[in-house]
A and B are shown apart, each in its own frame.
Chain A
Amino acid sequence: MSVLLEVDRVTKAWGGVVANREVSLEVTEGGIVGLIGPNGSGKTTLFGSICGAHPIDAGAIRFRGEDISTLRTDAIARRGLVRTFQTTRIYAEMSCVQNMLISAPNRDEGILDMFRRFPAEQREHADDLLQFVGLYDKRRLLAGDLSFGQRKLLEFAMALMNEPTLLLLDEPTAGINPTLINSLIDRLKRANAERGVTLFVIEHNMRVIMALARHIYCLAHGELLASGPPEAVRGDQRVIDAYLGAH
């Protein structure tokens, strides 16, 4: 398996607070990789750095061998690296179908393509994906009228609609009830297996990340603390100490 994403000694400071210090990690193609760590350990900052939400202070981020650390967010997304947000971001005043349609891939969009109608197969694909996450009945409702959990599912479906190579998920199960969590795990796994989407997941819920990831990185105080297969990381004394606050 080839390396899809390579984070190479990335440092990012917010004022005097170093959120990421020389963090290095790799995501291989076709895998499901987890990123864990206590609150404030710099997980979301790292995601932001990878997606070009803010410039990094030092290091390099390579996606398929190309340095993307100076590219703009939308240019990175068009290369097939898409993220979802911890706070769940959807287009609230648009219907679910519209949310899906505008998320269709736009890699080679020219000036004239801006004025195109949506082809029938894109509409069908949007309906299929809404079916896939169980929101088909609600597809004509405004996205802002959905419950929190449903919004998470919609955001996930929108990300899939974009046909990413690598999908970064920031706490996909936060605030979702346990029943829905199980079906979400199932869908994440299916997206990975059936659609070939590589997943890189931030998650606090240990049960979820153990069930999902094949490789886990753990951050603490902005530095990479441990990495390895789920079982090994879970048993690592340093990880346990970091979560329980021992120093």
Chain B
Amino acid sequence: MKGGAGNVALLAVAVALPFIFPTYQAQLAFLLVMVLFAMTWDMQGGQMGYNSFGNVVFFGVGMYACIAVQVGLVFPLSEYTAPGGTKVFTFTDTQFMRGLALGMVAGGLAAVALAATLGAAILGLRGHYFAIGTLGLGIAAGEIAGGIPIIGAGKGIVPPIFPDSFGSRERFFYFVFLALTVLAFVTFKWLYRGRFGLALNAIRDDEDKAEAMGLRTTRYKTVAWCVSALFLGLMGGGVGILIGFVDPRNTAFAAGTFGVWMVLMAILGGKGTIWGPVIGAVVFHVFREFFWTYLFGWQRVALGLLIVVIVVFFPTGIVGWVRKRWPERFGRRIESAAGE
């Protein structure tokens, strides 16, 4: 397979990167977070045509669930988050790692359960109504989490400290996220190739028609949301520990940053394609880091301009533009019956 060799080479580069650029390990780990954001968003926004601004909710739920499990397995959670506490909580290596593994899984499952519940209620909305509804979801989640004392309420929560004995925290999570990204990519590619992918595309192109042809559209939409939620929920816990502090509105349920970025990255790269979100996330993240480093003070203006340029000049994204330019390369051609 021609594509296989390329993928293996790319994976080798990805594995080598933190060793080649040890000073950029944190940025690289966040780059993978961005790739996962864009990829999971694209299942709704790109493949299914549902512009969700609420996917960040699953990320935040995963983050809180992971910390709750990780702490809760060793100490009472209410003591851990008690205001003004002077008690010191230390985790042994085993306690930390076991908690992290179980916590991430719990995060994924909690996110899936939430997606299944919310999906039944909100996936009936279409077009702009769905976008607005999910936007509210992200903001509401932040406010709700900010009002629950046992998870730290508005003052946030500090996840367990990453133990020194496992080396660099950034490198550790880089590889955790790399494994998740590869797993997500392979899963999505497999899903998009069969009935599932075409059903999502059919819903995107004409949902009424899909229904008139007997497709169980609600089921497909809900399952797709659960798949996205699973990966976001799994990742959330890791990101919490990598950052080292969880604020309900700015880290966990950051609708204004992560929630919007995932949309932009997928659109920039080309939504509805498998590589588009990956490319979009890389380009976006690199530009953002450059702006924050070299244009400090004007970084948000530069980012805003970048977004305008994306929307105006690349409405179909990088991959979409390439595909429109050379449709034959993507198999869009007239075939004569004799030629087969």
Instruction: List chain A positions with a Cβ less than 8 A from chain B.
Output: 51, 53, 72-75, 77-78, 82-83, 85, 89-95, 98, 101-103, 105-107, 109, 111, 113-118, 131, 136-142, 145, 158-159, 162
- Could you jot down 5 A-B contacts, CB within 8 Å? A53-B212, A74-B216, A89-B209, A102-B201, A115-B191
Given contacts A74-B211, A93-B204, 10 further A-B pairs with CB under 8 A are: A89-B208, A91-B205, A91-B209, A93-B205, A94-B205, A95-B331, A102-B213, A111-B223, A115-B194, A117-B195
Q: How far is the CB of B243 from chain A (nearest CB, A)?
A: 35
Contact of A137 among B196, B211, B214, B336 (CB under 8 A): B336
Closest partner residue, chain A, to B199 (CB atom)? A102
* A118 & B194 in contact (Cβ 8 Å cutoff): yes
Question: Quick one: which of B193, B205, B216, B217 contacts A117, CB cutoff 8 A?
Answer: B193
Residue from B204, B208, B214 having most chain A Cβ neighbours under 10 A: B214
Complex-state Cα separation, A103 to B198, whole angstroms:
10
| A141 CA to B217 CA, complexed, in Å | 25
**CB-CB < 8 A to A93: which residues of B?**
201, 204-205, 272
Please tell me if B337 contacts chain A, counting CB pairs below 8 Å.
yes
Is B87 positioned at the interface, with any CB of A under 8 Å from its CB?
no
- Least distance between A64 CB and chain B CB atoms (Å): 16
With a cutoff of 8 Å between Cβ atoms, the chain B residues found around residue A158 in the complex are 213
Cα distance A8–B293 when bound, in Å? 73
Q: Which residue of B lies closest to A101 (CB)?
A: B198
A53–B209 alpha-carbon span in the complex (Å):
11
Give the nearest-CB partner of A130 in chain B. B337
Instruction: Decide yes or no whether B335 CB sits under 8 A from chain A.
Output: yes
Task: Select B334's contact among A51, A77, A78, A140, beta carbons within 8 Å.
Answer: A140
Are A94 and B201 within 8 A (Cβ)?
A: yes
Q: Are A90 and B331 in contact (CB under 8 A)?
A: no
| B215 contact set on A, CB distance < 8 A | 74, 102, 106
Q: How far is the CB of B98 from chain A (nearest CB, A)?
A: 32
Q: A116 with B195: in contact, given A74-B217, A91-B205, A92-B205 (CB under 8 Å)?
A: yes
Question: Is A94's CB under 8 angstroms from B198's CB?
Answer: yes
Query: CB distance B206 to A140 under 8 Å?
Result: no
Given contacts A102-B215, A117-B195, contact A137 B332 (CB under 8 A): no
| Contact (Cβ within 8 A) B194 A117 | yes
Inter-chain CA distance A136–B338, complex, in Å, is 11
The reply on B123 being an interface residue by CB < 8 A is no
Q: In this assembly, does B333 line the interface, its C-beta being within 8 Å of a C-beta of chain A?
A: yes
Q: Are B216 and A140 in contact (CB under 8 A)?
A: no
Q: Is the pair B201, A115 in contact by a Cβ cutoff of 8 Å?
A: no
Q: Which residue of the partner chain, among A101, A115, A162, contacts B196 with CB atoms under 8 Å?
A: A115
**Interface 0/1 of B319-336, CB less than 8 Å to A:** 000000000000111111
A77–B216 Cα distance when bound, in Å, is 10
Q: In the bound complex, do residue A141 and residue B209 qualify as a contact, i.e. CB atoms below 8 Å apart?
A: no
Given contacts A93-B272, A107-B214, whether A142 and B201 have CB atoms under 8 Å apart is: no
Inter-chain contact A141/B333, CB cutoff 8 Å: yes
Q: Is B128 an interface residue (CB 8 A)?
A: no
Whether, in the assembled complex, B229 has its beta carbon less than 8 Å from a beta carbon of chain A, the answer is no
Asked whether any CB of chain A lies closer than 8 Å to the CB of B262, the reply is no
Which residues in A have their C-beta under 8 angstroms from that of B208? 53, 73, 89
Tell me, rounded to whole Å, the shortest Cβ–Cβ distance linking A173 to chain B.
Answer: 20
CB–CB B334/A141 < 8 A: yes
Given known A137-B336, A140-B334, contact A90–B214 (CB-CB < 8 A): no
B126 CB within 8 Å of chain A: no
Give A226 Cβ to nearest chain B Cβ, in Å: 29
A91 x B201 contact (CB < 8 A): yes
Which residues from B are CB-within-8-Å of A118? 194-195
B35 interfacial contact with A, CB 8 Å? no
**Does B219 reach chain A (CB closer than 8 Å)?**
yes
Bound complex: CA of A221 vs CA of B213, how far in Å? 30
Do A98 and B198 touch (CB < 8 A)?
A: yes
A140 to B215, CA, bound (A): 23
On chain A, the residues within 8 Å of B291 by CB distance are: none
Is B245 an interface residue when CB atoms closer than 8 A count as contact?
A: no
Contact of A114 among B195, B206, B332 (CB under 8 A): B195
- Which 8 A-B pairs have CB atoms at the shortest separation, nearest pair first? A77-B214, A91-B205, A89-B209, A102-B198, A78-B214, A117-B194, A74-B211, A73-B211
